[in-house]
Amino acid sequence: MSQPTVAVLRPDDSRIVEAVEYLQTLDVSPIPDPMLAITPTGQVPQHADYCIFTSETGVDLAATAGWKQRGTTVCAVGDQTATALCNRGYSVDIVPSTFTSTGLVDELSTDVEGQIVELARSAHGSEVLVEGLEAAGAIVSEICLYRLERPETAGQSVSLAVDGKLDGILFTSPKTVEHFVQIATERDAVAALQRELEETIVGAIGAPTKRAVDKRGIAVDVMPDTVGFTQLAEITVRRILDTH
């Protein structure tokens, strides 16, 4: 049997390289199709009572810019963000037990009244954190560290999906879903895409990504318990092999 083909839509940095290498260890043929290009804004977190990081990218940009913790309570959404903070020499004070914005709001809601809480993240974060923290009495400040744009080269996975040539596809953020379907829309191929993906094992990382896929009329077959890429890849590939 030939190796299953699995498209992976990570950002066009070391993450797509690592994803391809990992998928090769699972005996599949990876189709790397970066759907995100990271454009730093040059902004840096200021001093606040709390600082919330939601991604490894945000941590790396803040650290590269020389951000100092200086007594700030640091919160991380997700284990990977927490690990990135520790690797950069920051102490992580709070990681919500559920890796979501809602989980973090629940964790902080009794402590942040009158406190300055800074969100250090991309320009595309949901309003859940802002609204929840403000409702808890926090003074919320958003620092937009980077924008997520669509690379000019993106689209190979859309062509293969429409042609029924993908066994699996890995969506790793709501923005990857948005750009993927945007390309299909520009090609007037959304109906064909939805039809062909019924025969493809679709993996989504985390509830926000799953919601983004569902919203566009595509069924999600796999969503792991954690927001780690390796688990997403493993479970998706296992499902592909079980259905072959």
- Nearest Cα residue to 221 out of 181, 169, 163: 169
Give the residue with greater pLDDT, 98 vs 114: 114
In this predicted structure, what is the pLDDT of residue 99? 61
> Who contacts 207 (Cβ-Cβ below 8 Å, separation ≥6)?
100, 223
Q: What is the dihedral of CA 213, 214, 219, 224, to 10 degrees?
A: 70
pLDDT digits (tens, 9 = 90+) for 50-92: 999 988 899 999 999 999 999 999 999 888 889 999 999 999 9
In this predicted structure, what is the pLDDT of residue 207? 85
Please tell me whether the overall predicted TM-score, pTM, comes out greater than 0.75 for this model. yes
Q: Which CATH architecture has domain 5-37+151-242?
A: 3-Layer(aba) Sandwich (3.40)
Give the residue with greater pLDDT, 244 vs 230: 230
For range 83-111, the mean pLDDT: 86
**42 φψ region: left (φ > 0), alpha (ψ -120 to 50), beta (else):** left
DSSP-derived 3-state class of residue 122? strand
CATH topology of domain 40-148: Rossmann fold (3.40.50)
* CA quadruple 242, 99, 82, 95: dihedral sign: negative
For range 214-241, the mean pLDDT: 91
- Report the C-alpha gap between 135 and 137 in whole angstroms: 5
For range 134-153, the mean pLDDT: 93
For the chain, the domains span 5-37+151-242, 40-148
Give the residue with greater pLDDT, 205 vs 2: 205
DSSP E strands: which ranges in 172-238? 201-204
